[in-house]
A and B are shown apart, each in its own frame.
Chain A
């Protein structure tokens, strides 16, 4: 091995004049890849309140809340719907895999920064019922 000094200089010059690598993201839209796992979305029409998603979620994102009561064969049954604390969601997609009614999906949205973390709580499913 011969010791040299500054062997990176040719490469530096080459890089300085090569094509731009930096994405112009905040100034232009970005396409994310097809499978990217971003923000979770729920389709309130499809959700039946079965509660499977709340059981499988590894990050305890989902809590089932009572939204009303229903008569079912002379018995009072509570209706529940999920609330998602999305600031905890790790976008793993396990709930999506396990929801048998296809009510959930992961969108490609990634621009989630907020000033108030409670604004990330997704209550779509319970608002829909009311």
Chain B
């Protein structure tokens, strides 16, 4: 039991993921800077590595301002709840073997539910905060979600079909010799596009477009709630990258067999991290090369292009398996 709790909360569960989330943000900012021929964070920790940590702690120590017309309860307790969504999701991801900490035989459905819940939480938070920019932002968020939900489900179905099972561990174990990305490349691409939308990154950063609607639904948050929200966004990023790794890139598994338990764990972890960071990097590169599009363009793009594409992929799989 204690072992299980340790796994859930520290390694490879919550704490581990939070640190990866910090590392992701650092990497993102540093690479963004490099691409823009800048230097990026430099003074906080070696090479600025502790920059996200500094940001987080600073927000924790800051005053919280609760807007007058906001729902106080949701405003204060929503952010931790929002944070728990990807945190729980992360516990399903198999890292040190074929099974995640919480894994069971229909966990893929649970993952889908979690992704929907995260959007729901975001819109609830924005709504509780009140304010015009938040309201517009939520409208966009929900509209965007409804248009990417179908391609999301369809693209996740492809590896499930290939593995003939709805559990992540089954999907992972079916990829020992061949990754699903080679059989379902379109689904992988669609999944990346949908991840951009879920993460509110360009070209889909419409709900938090700062030049249009300030900071979107986060406009009114400050202090500790904001710290949670920022962290959750990074955690979401990690969660989606690791999900892509699990679904399409074979998770932590190695084609060779290693006897030593300890060495095996280390190797698994390493493989998993490399893959996750690569996916994160890929998402990041796509993001930096594009401009933001408009909400109606986004919905039409997601409906008209990605949905038929993912259907096509499923059809191909069904026909050729």
Contact = CB atoms under 8 A, between A and B. Distances in A.
Query: A–B direct touch, CB within 8 Å, in complex?
Result: yes
B289 interface: yes
Interface string B280-309: 000001101110000000000000000000
29 contacts: A5-B289, A5-B290, A6-B286, A6-B289, A6-B290, A7-B289, A8-B289, A9-B285, A9-B289, A12-B35, A12-B285, A12-B288, A12-B289, A15-B34, A15-B35, A15-B36, A15-B37, A16-B31, A16-B34, A16-B35, A16-B37, A18-B37, A20-B37, A20-B39, A21-B37, A21-B38, A22-B37, A22-B38, A22-B39
Interface of B: 31, 34-39, 285-286, 288-290
Contacts of B39: 20, 22
A18 to B, nearest CB: 7
The contact size tier of chain A is 10 to 19
Contacts of A20: 37, 39
Contacts of B38: 21-22
Contacts of A18: 37
A16 B286 CA distance: 15
A8 B202 CA distance: 14
Contacts of A21: 37-38
Nearest to A12: B35
Nearest to A13: B35
A16 B290 CA distance: 17
Given A9-B285, A12-B289, 19 more contacts: A5-B289, A6-B290, A9-B289, A12-B35, A12-B285, A15-B34, A15-B36, A15-B37, A16-B31, A16-B35, A16-B37, A18-B37, A20-B37, A20-B39, A21-B37, A21-B38, A22-B37, A22-B38, A22-B39
A16 B35 CA distance: 5
Contacts of A6: 286, 289-290
Nearest to B38: A22
B179 to A, nearest CB: 24
A6 B37 CA distance: 18
B219 to A, nearest CB: 30
Q: Which of A12, A18, A21 has the most CB of B within 10 A?
A: A12
B210 to A, nearest CB: 21
A14 to B, nearest CB: 10
B37 to A, nearest CB: 5
Interface in A1-34: 5-9, 12, 15-16, 18, 20-22
A7 B37 CA distance: 17
A20 B289 CA distance: 21
Contacts of B289: 5-9, 12
